[in-house]
Chain A
Amino acid sequence: MVEASVTLWQKHMLKFIRNPEEPLGMLLQPILWVVLFGVGMRALVGGVAPNVGDYLTFMLPGIITLTALGGAVTSGASLLDERLRGIIKEYLVAPIPRLSILSGNALSTVTKALLQALLILILGWLMGARLNSNILSVLAGLLALGVYTVGFAGIALSVAARVRSNLGYHGLIFLLNLPLLFASNALYPLATLPRWMQFLAWINPTTYVIDSMRLLIYNGSNTFSLGLSAAILVIFAALGMWLAYSSFKNVVST
């Protein structure tokens, strides 16, 4: 199981490094977010919501999460591509657990998400967002991101295992992706939201990963206890992978 996952993870990373467009896009996207969106919003919001402190620092965890979501979408698309082209059959007739095909893919998603997160932290730091001086705490924040990414990668893989075309995949994912971001605390403090949106944010795991990253990485204030966030994120990751596995199992052996 572990061996096969690692082999497939290495394959994904090999392809990733080899193809110049994907790493380039992965570098540029966060730069655009931080530099253009972040700076603009900082100027706009700075006076309006003084209780959040520096707005760029406030929204960096949201940008990190958004980029991780984007990475998971790409990895789901690569599973879909392998499925539609039949490449997946090579793995299905090999003596490896079905789950390792999914976990190899999810592992590569997490790797890419962490690389991007590091890049964003550095960019943010250059622009004045002060990191927590406790490096272990920063690492714990990244761990929370990794766990969250596994969960969303699971959802993307589950969609990729079921849909019949690329178009269907991106349509469905778009529907899932946007509310995850906007119905959360990513861009605005929870307290400023109307009640119904607060409710949506409470049931959205994105809220918990961002809340813990604010605390762990930027030493900000948290709304939920770390224990609660950790529990929710772990459950989210497990549910995501379970969903992916059950969709995948059904599709491949009818």
Chain B
Amino acid sequence: MYAIEIQNLMKSFSSDVLAIDHLNLTIPEDRIYALLGPNGAGKTTTLSILTTLLLPTSGAAQVMGFDVVRQAAQVRENIGVTFQEIVLDPDLTGREVLDIHGRLYKMPTRQRQERIIEMVKLVELDEAIDRLVKTYSGGMKRRLELVRGLMTHPKVLFLDEPTQGLDPHNRAKIWDYIHELRRQTGLTIMLTTHYMEEAEALADGVGIIDHGKLVADSTPQALVTQLGADVVHIVGHGSPQPFLQALQQLPYIQEIHQSDDEGIHLQVGVDNGNRRLPEIIHLASRNGSQNGSQDEFMIDEISVARPSLGDVFLKLTGRALRDR
């Protein structure tokens, strides 16, 4: 059975803009799936429909086999959610937040108390749990929200940008907790993120969404290997045309992408970056200085890297994926 199924989902807020455009997606049980996309791509809207906060304009979706519109009550019983913005009552203590949450899901008192202890241990909030939430740091609030979502043993956990606004240390912590959950059976996680490293670090499946359309749906590994074993990034100025033409003749070139937002940025997929780097530089210098005018292409920077999801995004959409 699939944990999440989406068929031809559409959502528009006004007559001219489609926030979600013919979205189709299936996520098997026990997986971690990351939805990756830039600002305004439609990530939050997708999660809002799946978590019964928004009604779709057309199409359908099921969570654990329950329809998100007609069987919203059953869907709600099976999910845990954290939202993009922090939504915690500042005048309650961490323990009260978790306790009230458990009561809303009809958990018996004993079970609630035990679960709170377990959850507090997982995210290392022992010292802070009886303090008012308004005294928490951003990282502590995110951790509390994570376990609030987990508190009631959901089958599917939705995390909307779980590490937004966190420093690298706190981000790594959240990743650790999610890895920890990975070992737990019967839990499917769907998360959204801007960070390609996050999707690579956490997810078994990745969907890339842009303007409400799913432009890729695969594993992180399959997506990056499409590009070639290595990617050579070249930043330069001048006219790249002769150089590009020469590059395209070479047998070991797998992909070339060009974007012009900050000087000329070329992204070249090759079979072996370290070996091909000198050849590419050689080629650039041969095709740059011939005319001696503003036509020439000069390399300012060159580097070799393993392809990242950011490279994939650039390839699929023609635009760079930026962290905020």
Contacts and interface: CB of A to CB of B under 8 A. Distances in A.
Interface of A: 3-4, 7-8, 10-11, 14-15, 18-19, 82, 85-87, 89-96, 252-254
Provide the main secondary structure of the chain B interface. loop
7 contacts: A8-B104, A18-B91, A85-B87, A93-B52, A252-B53, A253-B55, A254-B55
B87 A93 contact: no
Nearest to A18: B91
For the complex, would chain A's binding face be called helix, strand, loop or mixed by DSSP majority? helix
Contact of B87 (A90, A94, A252): A90
B79 A93 contact: yes
Given A94-B101, A254-B55, 10 more contacts: A3-B106, A7-B103, A11-B100, A89-B53, A90-B101, A93-B52, A95-B76, A95-B104, A96-B104, A254-B54
B285 to A, nearest CB: 56
A89 B83 contact: yes
B105 A94 contact: yes
Interface centre among A7, A90, A252 (most CB of B within 10 A): A90
B76 A93 contact: yes
Interface string B62-89: 0000000000010011010101010111
Nearest to A15: B91
A187 B92 CA distance: 40
A89 B87 CA distance: 8
Contacts of B53: 89, 92-93, 252-253
A20 to B, nearest CB: 11
A3 B103 contact: yes
Contacts of A11: 89, 92, 96, 100
Contacts of B106: 3
Given A4-B104, A11-B92, A253-B54, A95 B77 contact: yes
B193 interface: no
B115 to A, nearest CB: 16
